Chain A
Protein backbone atom coordinates (compact mmCIF):
# COMPACT_ATOMS: atom_id res chain seq x y z
CA UNK A 1 0.00 0.00 0.00
CA UNK A 2 1.09 3.59 -0.60
CA UNK A 3 2.25 5.28 2.59
CA UNK A 4 1.74 9.03 2.89
CA UNK A 5 4.02 10.65 5.44
CA UNK A 6 2.86 14.03 6.69
CA UNK A 7 5.08 16.50 8.50
CA UNK A 8 4.90 18.08 10.94
CA UNK A 9 2.52 16.17 13.19
CA UNK A 10 1.49 19.47 14.76
CA UNK A 11 1.97 22.96 13.39
CA UNK A 12 1.68 25.76 15.94
CA UNK A 13 0.87 28.99 14.15
CA UNK A 14 0.12 32.60 14.94
CA UNK A 15 -3.09 33.86 13.42
CA UNK A 16 -2.27 35.84 10.30
CA UNK A 17 0.95 33.92 9.63
CA UNK A 18 1.62 31.28 6.99
CA UNK A 19 1.57 27.52 7.61
CA UNK A 20 3.07 24.79 5.49
CA UNK A 21 2.38 21.06 5.56
CA UNK A 22 4.35 18.41 3.72
CA UNK A 23 3.07 15.11 2.35
CA UNK A 24 5.54 12.59 0.95
CA UNK A 25 4.45 9.41 -0.77
CA UNK A 26 6.22 6.04 -0.75
CA UNK A 27 5.80 5.94 -4.52
CA UNK A 28 4.92 8.26 -7.37
CA UNK A 29 1.28 9.35 -7.44
CA UNK A 30 1.20 9.91 -11.19
CA UNK A 31 -1.57 7.75 -12.58
CA UNK A 32 -1.21 5.90 -15.87
CA UNK A 33 -3.67 8.43 -17.33
CA UNK A 34 -1.27 11.27 -16.51
CA UNK A 35 -3.29 12.71 -13.61
CA UNK A 36 -2.00 12.92 -10.06
CA UNK A 37 -4.75 12.15 -7.57
CA UNK A 38 -3.42 13.85 -4.47
CA UNK A 39 -5.96 15.68 -2.36
CA UNK A 40 -6.03 17.68 0.86
CA UNK A 41 -8.76 17.65 3.49
CA UNK A 42 -9.43 19.61 6.65
CA UNK A 43 -11.26 18.01 9.54
CA UNK A 44 -12.50 20.45 12.15
CA UNK A 45 -13.32 19.13 15.63
CA UNK A 46 -16.50 17.08 15.64
CA UNK A 47 -16.98 17.42 11.88
CA UNK A 48 -16.58 15.32 8.76
CA UNK A 49 -13.52 15.92 6.58
CA UNK A 50 -13.96 18.63 3.98
CA UNK A 51 -12.25 18.70 0.62
CA UNK A 52 -9.88 21.60 0.08
CA UNK A 53 -7.62 20.67 -2.84
CA UNK A 54 -7.90 18.00 -5.53
CA UNK A 55 -5.40 16.81 -8.14
CA UNK A 56 -2.52 18.50 -6.31
CA UNK A 57 -3.38 22.15 -6.84
CA UNK A 58 -7.06 22.63 -7.69
CA UNK A 59 -9.13 24.37 -5.06
CA UNK A 60 -12.58 22.92 -4.46
CA UNK A 61 -15.54 25.25 -4.84
CA UNK A 62 -15.66 27.88 -2.11
CA UNK A 63 -12.15 27.24 -0.77
CA UNK A 64 -10.32 30.55 -0.24
CA UNK A 65 -7.28 31.31 -2.37
CA UNK A 66 -5.23 31.39 0.85
CA UNK A 67 -4.97 27.61 0.38
CA UNK A 68 -2.36 26.62 -2.16
CA UNK A 69 -1.47 23.06 -3.09
CA UNK A 70 1.68 22.23 -4.98
CA UNK A 71 4.08 19.43 -5.76
CA UNK A 72 4.61 16.56 -8.14
CA UNK A 73 5.55 12.90 -8.24
CA UNK A 74 5.82 11.92 -4.60
CA UNK A 75 6.40 15.24 -2.85
CA UNK A 76 3.53 17.61 -2.09
CA UNK A 77 2.89 20.71 0.00
CA UNK A 78 -0.13 22.58 1.29
CA UNK A 79 0.46 26.22 2.17
CA UNK A 80 -2.05 28.27 4.09
CA UNK A 81 -1.38 31.98 4.07
CA UNK A 82 -2.81 34.44 6.59
CA UNK A 83 -4.15 31.70 8.88
CA UNK A 84 -7.60 32.43 10.28
CA UNK A 85 -9.37 30.84 13.27
CA UNK A 86 -11.63 28.75 10.99
CA UNK A 87 -8.53 27.11 9.47
CA UNK A 88 -7.71 25.27 12.69
CA UNK A 89 -8.12 21.50 12.76
CA UNK A 90 -6.42 18.43 11.33
CA UNK A 91 -5.23 18.38 7.74
CA UNK A 92 -4.95 15.12 5.81
CA UNK A 93 -3.44 14.35 2.47
CA UNK A 94 -5.01 11.53 0.49
CA UNK A 95 -4.10 9.61 -2.63
CA UNK A 96 -6.51 8.01 -5.05
CA UNK A 97 -3.97 6.99 -7.67
CA UNK A 98 -3.17 3.54 -6.32
CA UNK A 99 -5.55 0.93 -4.93
CA UNK A 100 -6.10 0.86 -1.99
CA UNK A 101 -6.56 4.59 -1.56
CA UNK A 102 -4.75 5.90 1.50
CA UNK A 103 -4.66 8.90 3.82
CA UNK A 104 -1.77 10.54 5.57
CA UNK A 105 -1.63 10.45 9.36
CA UNK A 106 -2.68 14.06 9.71
CA UNK A 107 -1.22 17.41 10.76
CA UNK A 108 -2.88 19.39 13.50
CA UNK A 109 -2.90 23.12 12.88
CA UNK A 110 -3.10 24.84 16.26
CA UNK A 111 -2.65 28.25 17.79
CA UNK A 112 0.87 29.01 19.01
Chain B
Protein backbone atom coordinates (compact mmCIF):
# COMPACT_ATOMS: atom_id res chain seq x y z
CA UNK B 1 0.00 0.00 0.00
CA UNK B 2 1.10 3.54 -0.72
CA UNK B 3 2.67 5.26 2.26
CA UNK B 4 4.35 8.64 2.71
CA UNK B 5 6.26 8.92 5.96
CA UNK B 6 7.32 12.40 6.95
CA UNK B 7 10.01 13.48 9.39
CA UNK B 8 9.18 14.53 12.91
CA UNK B 9 8.32 17.93 14.32
CA UNK B 10 11.00 20.60 14.20
CA UNK B 11 11.67 23.58 16.45
CA UNK B 12 13.95 26.05 14.70
CA UNK B 13 15.25 29.51 15.39
CA UNK B 14 14.33 32.55 13.31
CA UNK B 15 16.70 33.02 10.40
CA UNK B 16 17.68 29.36 10.30
CA UNK B 17 16.81 26.69 7.73
CA UNK B 18 15.12 23.32 8.09
CA UNK B 19 14.97 20.32 5.79
CA UNK B 20 11.87 18.13 5.89
CA UNK B 21 11.73 14.63 4.48
CA UNK B 22 9.01 12.47 2.95
CA UNK B 23 9.85 8.78 2.44
CA UNK B 24 7.67 7.01 -0.09
CA UNK B 25 6.87 3.31 -0.22
CA UNK B 26 4.38 0.97 -1.85
CA UNK B 27 4.77 2.27 -5.40
CA UNK B 28 7.40 3.20 -7.96
CA UNK B 29 8.78 6.48 -6.62
CA UNK B 30 9.75 7.90 -10.00
CA UNK B 31 6.28 7.40 -11.50
CA UNK B 32 4.52 10.19 -9.61
CA UNK B 33 5.24 13.82 -8.79
CA UNK B 34 5.50 14.79 -5.12
CA UNK B 35 3.69 17.96 -4.04
CA UNK B 36 4.14 19.94 -0.84
CA UNK B 37 1.34 21.79 0.95
CA UNK B 38 1.44 24.25 3.87
CA UNK B 39 -1.22 24.58 6.54
CA UNK B 40 -0.82 27.35 9.08
CA UNK B 41 -2.50 26.66 12.41
CA UNK B 42 -6.26 26.67 12.05
CA UNK B 43 -6.02 27.96 8.51
CA UNK B 44 -6.57 26.67 5.02
CA UNK B 45 -4.10 24.92 2.75
CA UNK B 46 -1.51 26.42 0.38
CA UNK B 47 0.17 24.61 -2.47
CA UNK B 48 3.93 25.13 -2.37
CA UNK B 49 5.01 23.27 -5.49
CA UNK B 50 5.97 19.89 -6.88
CA UNK B 51 8.97 17.90 -7.99
CA UNK B 52 9.24 15.22 -10.64
CA UNK B 53 11.29 12.52 -8.89
CA UNK B 54 12.41 11.06 -12.21
CA UNK B 55 13.92 14.20 -13.72
CA UNK B 56 14.25 16.48 -10.71
CA UNK B 57 12.16 19.13 -12.48
CA UNK B 58 10.44 21.46 -10.05
CA UNK B 59 7.51 23.86 -10.28
CA UNK B 60 6.97 26.34 -7.46
CA UNK B 61 4.13 28.56 -6.42
CA UNK B 62 5.63 32.03 -6.97
CA UNK B 63 4.86 32.82 -3.32
CA UNK B 64 7.26 30.12 -2.13
CA UNK B 65 9.99 30.40 -4.76
CA UNK B 66 12.48 32.08 -2.45
CA UNK B 67 11.39 30.09 0.59
CA UNK B 68 11.28 26.43 -0.41
CA UNK B 69 13.69 24.16 -2.27
CA UNK B 70 12.46 20.74 -3.38
CA UNK B 71 14.80 17.82 -4.00
CA UNK B 72 14.67 14.03 -4.11
CA UNK B 73 16.99 11.11 -3.43
CA UNK B 74 15.97 8.32 -5.78
CA UNK B 75 18.22 5.82 -4.02
CA UNK B 76 16.10 6.08 -0.86
CA UNK B 77 12.73 7.03 -2.40
CA UNK B 78 12.75 10.20 -0.35
CA UNK B 79 11.61 13.69 -1.21
CA UNK B 80 12.88 16.72 0.67
CA UNK B 81 11.80 20.28 1.17
CA UNK B 82 14.20 22.81 2.60
CA UNK B 83 12.76 26.02 4.05
CA UNK B 84 15.18 28.90 4.41
CA UNK B 85 15.40 32.18 6.37
CA UNK B 86 12.61 31.07 8.65
CA UNK B 87 10.26 33.53 10.34
CA UNK B 88 7.20 33.11 12.52
CA UNK B 89 5.10 33.16 9.32
CA UNK B 90 6.67 29.81 8.41
CA UNK B 91 5.36 28.10 11.53
CA UNK B 92 2.91 25.58 10.12
CA UNK B 93 2.26 21.95 9.33
CA UNK B 94 3.75 20.87 6.03
CA UNK B 95 2.41 17.92 4.07
CA UNK B 96 3.84 15.96 1.20
CA UNK B 97 1.33 14.35 -1.13
CA UNK B 98 1.65 12.14 -4.15
CA UNK B 99 0.20 13.22 -7.44
CA UNK B 100 -2.85 13.34 -7.79
CA UNK B 101 -3.23 14.18 -4.10
CA UNK B 102 -4.79 10.83 -3.28
CA UNK B 103 -2.08 9.93 -0.76
CA UNK B 104 -0.74 12.24 1.91
CA UNK B 105 1.96 12.11 4.51
CA UNK B 106 1.04 12.61 8.15
CA UNK B 107 2.45 16.14 8.16
CA UNK B 108 5.43 17.77 9.84
CA UNK B 109 4.89 20.58 12.33
CA UNK B 110 7.50 23.31 12.05
CA UNK B 111 7.69 25.84 14.86
CA UNK B 112 9.88 28.89 14.45
CA UNK B 113 10.81 30.36 17.80
CA UNK B 114 13.83 31.70 19.61
Q: Contact size class for B?
A: 10 to 19
Interface residues of B in 43-68 (CB under 8 A from A): 44-47, 59, 61-63
Q: Majority SS of interface residues in chain B?
A: mixed
A10 to chain B, nearest CB (A): 13
Nearest CB in chain A: distance from B50 CB, A: 9
- Report chain B residues within 8 Å CB of A54: 100, 102
What 1/0 flags go to B82-114 for Cβ under 8 Å of A? 000000000000010100111011110000000
Known: A48-B106, A48-B107. A102 touches B47 (CB 8 A): yes
| A contact residues, range | 10 to 19
Residues of B near A49 (CB, < 8 A) are 37, 45, 95, 101, 104
Known contacts A49-B95, A51-B102, A99 near B45 by CB under 8 Å: no
Cβ contact within 8 Å between B104 and A103: no
Contact of B101 among A94, A99, A100, A104 (CB under 8 A): A94
Q: Does A105 contact B44, Cβ atoms closer than 8 Å?
A: yes
> Is there contact, CB below 8 Å, between B44 and A48?
no
A99–B59 CB distance below 8 A: yes
Determine whether the beta carbon of B44 is less than 8 Å from that of A92: yes
Q: Smallest CB–CB gap between A31 and chain B, Å?
A: 13
- Distance in angstroms from A18 CB to nearest chain B CB is 24
A39 to B35, CA, bound (A): 15
Residues of A at the B interface (CB closer than 8 Å) are: 39, 41, 48-51, 54, 60, 92, 94, 96, 99-106
Excluding A49-B101, A104-B44, 18 further A-B contacts by CB distance (< 8 Å) are: A39-B101, A41-B101, A48-B95, A48-B105, A49-B45, A49-B104, A51-B100, A51-B101, A60-B102, A94-B101, A99-B59, A100-B47, A100-B62, A101-B61, A103-B44, A103-B45, A103-B46, A103-B47
